[in-house]
Structures are given as C-alpha cells and as structure tokens.
Chain A
Amino acid sequence: MSVWVIADQRKGTLRKPALETLSEGRRLADQLGTSMEAVIAGHNVEGLCNEIASYGAEKVYLIDHEILANYNPPAYARAVGDLIKDKQPQIVLMGGTMTGRDLMPRIAARVGAGLAPDCIKLEIVDGKLKAIRPAIAGKVRVEIGYKSDIQMAILRPNVFERLEPDTSKTANIEKVPFEPSDLDTKQRLVEFVSKETGRPELTEAEIIVSGGRGMKAPENFALVEELADLLGAAVGASRAAVDAGWRPQSDQVGQTGKTVSPNLYIAVGISGAIQHLAGMSSSKFIVAINKDPDAPIFNVADFGVVGDLFKVVPLLTEEIKKIKAQEG
C-alpha cells in the first residue's frame, strides 16, 4: 500500500515537475506511514535512479527498453499500467508535464482507477487521498474523492514544494522486464523539432515576463525579453499578442494557451481578460504594468504600475542591472 511516483524524464534528464512530485509523494507516504516508490520508463536511464532516490524513493522500478526511448503513449501506458496492476500501490502520482497529462488518463483507464488532474493540493483523509484542483477557468475549486482502491493524481507544475535532495542515498533498483506489443509498434516518435530559446519553460519558470496588446509591435518584445533574461525568466504572451502573430503559440498564457504558476508573473501591457487570468491567476505574486488604470489585471496584481510601459520597462531593466552589478 505504498505511494508511487512516475518519474518523468526526457532525453535522460528528470523533469522539474517530477522532482516536485517525488517530494509530495514523500510527504504523503510519511503521513500514511508507508513507503514511497518510483517508476521510471525509458532507455538507458538507470543513471537517473540515484537522483530519484535522493528525493526519498525507497525503491525504483526501472523499465528499460529501446521502444521506450521516446514518449510512446501505448507502450508507456502498458509498461507502467501493468506494473501498477501487479503491485497495487495505493496512490500513484505524476507531474503535469505534457507527457504526464497525456499519459496518466491512459494508465488510469488500463488500471481501472480514479484520476484527478491539475491538482494544487493533496490531502490524506481517513487514510484515503483527497485532491483539490481548480476548474472552469479557475473560477471554482473542486475537491475530489476516490472510490477506487488505487488513487491517481496529476500535479500542477510549480505548485508543490521541492525537498532538498539527500545525495548520499543510493537507489534500490528493481528491474522490470518489458516486451513491446503489436500496438506499441503502431506509434513512433519520428522527430523532435526543438524550439529551445535558452529561456526556462513557461510552465516550470520561477519568473515569467509576459507581453500583451500594449506592446504594439512584435519588435517591442525586445523590451520584455531583455527584462526576462536579466531575471532568468520565461517570456509569455497574451492571446492578443499571439493572435496578432507577434509571438508563437507556445508562448500563450491563458485559456487556449498554458496555465502557469510562477513565483512572480510580470504582465506588461496586458489588460487581463478573463481568458488570460484563467492561465496565470494562481501565480504567487503578480506585477502589472499598464497605462489603463481600469484594466482588470490590476484586480489580481499585488503591485500595479499605472504608466507607459515604454518608459517604465526600460527604467526597470536599468535599475535591476545596477542591482545585479552591485552584487557582482
């Protein structure tokens, strides 16, 4: 009756949401007085097992096969799902990466277990999991209870606190055999088209600087980018900026884009339509810079600057540069 975490890796690196999920798994296992165990599927990923153990996994199930080298939904679901059916953990968690949100429903269907997505809080009540998550564009919070013996949940990235890893730990590895089925060979990842910008991924970033319609032209996003790079931040955009063709679809924050929960969200020239707020209102701190004092973004901002972004942002960037220079 242990707590399991499916450790999400890509190209041989553990994803940041996986570390947050391992940390939460450890906390839940401690509350239940049970063990926390992890599963990792991939190819040549044995080297990640010690890192998984450093977050408190007492055992790591390693499923290694060539066909698992890249994400393959049917193969991953069968590899992990059948192991869950065999070992019957009580709780199974995974971080809400694009893999996690795609894969977990498939596993839940295979296992025949209840699943809660996009969780921002998990609790143990009477020995069972209770999941709390936003719905309807963040307008309500829903508490979800389980009737299945196995209780599964997907965790929103950047919400659950990561533990300090204990690097002295060595993994207790159990290798799980795997043979591809016919179905597994019907799907293949043939290419990864990298759009790496050198900046952090929006859903995993500590700080995000986003620009909206107020940026007026695509070249003006240089202001946003310079501020973002100074802060080690990701660059986001409102729907208006994406629909105008100023920014790629992958930058869009909000209802038809990404949901983000950074420590700090700086909204530049974004009015704050409900579709945008749906994607960023769970940020810990929000700063808004907008010339319209009635812009709805100010209703959610911890600190609002009413002013001309073309004056305020360059000044802010200069001031931060000075501070960074003093720190040396």
Chain B
Amino acid sequence: MKVVVFCKSVPDTETRVRLKDNRLDKSEIKYILNPYDEFAVEEAVRMKEAGKVDEVVAVSMGPERAREALRSALAIGADRAILIKDDALDGSDTYVTAKVLVKALEKDGVEYGMLLFGQQAIDGDTWHVPGQVAEMLGLPQAGSIIKLEVDPDAGKAVANRLVEGGEEVHEMALPCVVTCRKGLNEPRYPSLPNIMKAKRKPVQDYSLADLGLSPEEVGRAGSFTEVLSYSLPPKKEAGRKVEGEPEEVVQELVKFLKDEIKVL
C-alpha cells in the first residue's frame, strides 16, 4: 500500500507577526513544517517501518520555501515528494487548495491506500482541507485521531477520534482520509544521516499548467472566500497584580470574583 502525506510550510509559533498595509509582513517570518503534519508524516513512516506501507509520498502546495517543509518530511522518512508551485496560486482559499491537491494526486497517479493530513495548520487554523479533499474524492474520513490501526490486506482502518467527552472509534474501508494530532505518536527528530539522505530524495515540481488548471480557476480569482483585511487583536489592558500574605491576596481575589466579575 502507498500513502500520501500532505505538508504545509507555516510560520514558527514564536514568530512575531507584523502587519503592513493590512496584510501580513512575511519578510521576517521563520518557517517550519506544520507541527500537526509532523504527526502525519511520523505515522506514515511508522506504517512503512511496520511493513504495512511500501511508499510514503509527501505533497505540498506553496511557494519555494515549501520545499524545506518537504525536506523535513523526507528526513523523517518519506520516500519522495511533490511540490505544487505557481505564482497564480497565491490567495487560494481552502476549497481551491483542496482542488489543486486532488489534481496533483491524479497527475502523479499514485495508487494510495490512505491520505494523511495534520488536523490543522498552525497559521490558518482552518481544519478545512482534509474534509474538502475527502468529499471531492468520495472517501471516508476520520479527523483528529489519536490512534490508528491499518490492515491493508483486509482493506480497512480503525481510527480513534478525540472528541468532547471521549473517543469515537471509526471503522473505514480503504482508501480513506485521516487527520493527525498530538497523542497519536511522538514525531522523531531526524538524524543527521537522514537529513543528508533527504537531500538526495526526488522532489517532483508541478506548475498549474502541469495539472491542467488555468490561473482563473485558482488563487483569489478561483476562491469562494477572500481575506478582506488583517488586524491585530485588541490589546488587553494590563490587569491587577497582587503580592503579599496569602490570606490577604486571597481576600482580594475573592472580592474580584464575587463583586467585580460576579462568578460567586
């Protein structure tokens, strides 16, 4: 069985966000492989190590810097990668992104048994693309999983979704879509030899034309939603900070809870 893992290049969490003319100023941002995608890559590589999967393909849509995210996936243990890169893709919403990813799968022709995603990307935080891809391809899906058992011979997977108050256990026929989150596994730190090896693994570039798509179908032109503006969230007024004898500070805190915000 072959599996495909989708990877996104995202700003590092510690990055300070600046705005320029109501748009993100991307000049000083440091980019990393989306941490949620690391869980997906790790899970795929573990399936390969367990002999259930014979090829792990990493796919990313993004600008040139997305190549680095793909190198990270290759260093964890993916076998090859696909980078979908085209200036016309800038401003694509999640629907267009899903459409493009589906086209890339068709173009590559990989006979996948499973598509793995991170539950969300830490920049956009939409959680949209996996479900959109699953619907476009007519596949079962289990989102936000913390446990996965795959039986390629029987053509099925069992996945535990972490939901409010417990876990939903879903049984699915293959091929299927899963989205991965913390709790599923501990992603490894790639070893230096594997980082070096990753540099020699094949990365296939696709342009829009390669995928048979026109610029009008993607980017801002092809999207159903558009970002009208970015703004910084309202600054919170600095609150009170009390120090002193525990008995006294607790009295003040109780007064705050009871009289000011009225939760007691």
Which residues of chain A have a CB within 8 Å of any CB of chain B? 70-71, 73-74, 77, 97-99, 101-110, 112-118, 130, 134-148, 183, 186-196, 201, 203-204, 207, 231, 249-250, 252, 255-257, 263-264, 274-275, 278, 281, 285-287, 293, 298-308, 311-312, 315-316, 319-320, 323-324
Q: How distant is A213 from chain B, measured CB to nearest CB, in Å?
A: 17
Q: Which of A104, A139, A183 has the most CB of B within 10 A?
A: A139
Which 4 A-B pairs rank lowest in CB-CB distance, beginning with the nearest?
A114-B224, A105-B131, A187-B140, A114-B225
With contacts A109-B136, A115-B128, A316-B253 known, is A136 near B228, CB below 8 A? no
Do A191 and B143 touch across chains, with their CB atoms under 8 A apart?
Answer: no
- CB-nearest residue of chain A to B127: A101
Q: Are A320 and B264 in contact (CB under 8 A)?
A: yes
Contacts A109-B95, A117-B127: A193 and B169 contacting too (C-beta < 8 A)? yes
A287 to B53 CA separation, bound complex (whole angstroms): 49
Please give, as numbers and ranges, the residues of chain B lying within 8 Å of A146 by CB-CB distance: 224-226
Complex: chain A residue closest to B237, CB-CB? A302
**25 cross-chain CB contacts under 8 A:** A71-B168, A73-B143, A108-B224, A115-B128, A117-B128, A135-B123, A136-B11, A137-B13, A141-B233, A142-B230, A143-B227, A143-B228, A143-B229, A144-B228, A147-B226, A192-B168, A192-B169, A195-B166, A231-B263, A249-B162, A256-B36, A257-B182, A263-B261, A306-B241, A312-B249
Q: Nearest A residue to B138 by beta-carbon distance?
A: A183
Tell me the bound Cα distance from A110 to B141 in angstroms: 14
Cβ of B160 and Cβ of A193 under 8 Å apart?
yes
How far, in angstroms, from A31 to B181 measured CA to CA in the complex?
39
Per the bound structure, the CA–CA distance linking A118 and B128 in Å amounts to 11
Cβ 8 A contact of B242, one of A104, A300, A304:
A304
Interface of B: prevailing SS: mixed
Which residues of B245-262 are within 8 A (CB) of A?
Answer: 246-247, 249-251, 253-254, 256-258, 261
Distance of A256 Cα from B122 Cα, bound (Å) = 9
Q: Mark B103-142, 1 if CB is under 8 A from A, else 0.
A: 0000000000000000000111111111111111011111
B94 interfacial by beta-carbon distance below 8 Å: yes
- B169 contacts A113, CB within 8 Å? no
Chain B residues with CB under 8 Å of A203's CB are 164
Closest residue to A103 on the B side, CB-wise? B131
A144 in complex: contacting residue of B138, B166, B225, B263, CB < 8 Å: B225
Q: How far is the CB of A187 from chain B (nearest CB, A)?
A: 4
Residues in A neighbouring B35, C-beta threshold 8 A: 255-256
* Given A117-B126, A319-B251: A102 in contact with B169 (beta carbons within 8 A): no
For B125, what are the chain A residues with a Cβ–Cβ distance below 8 Å? 117-118, 134-137
**Residue in B24, B131, B171 whose CB lies within 8 Å of A106:** B131
Find out whether the CB atom of A301 lies under 8 angstroms from the CB atom of B241: yes
Q: Is the CB of A140 within 8 A of B24?
A: yes
Decide if B13 touches A255 in the complex (CB within 8 Å): yes
A316 to B236: give the CA distance in the assembly, Å: 25
Choose one: A130, A148, A196, A301; the contact of B166 (CB below 8 Å): A196
* Cα–Cα distance between A19 and B17 once the two chains are bound (Å): 35
Which residues of chain B are within 8 angstroms of A302 by Cβ–Cβ distance? 239-240, 256, 261
**A299 to chain B: which residues have CB within 8 Å?**
236, 238
Q: How far is the CB of A204 from chain B (nearest CB, A)?
A: 7
Does chain A have a CB within 8 A of B196? no
A320 to B83, CA, bound (A): 58
With a CB–CB cut-off of 8 A, which chain B residues contact A188? 170-172
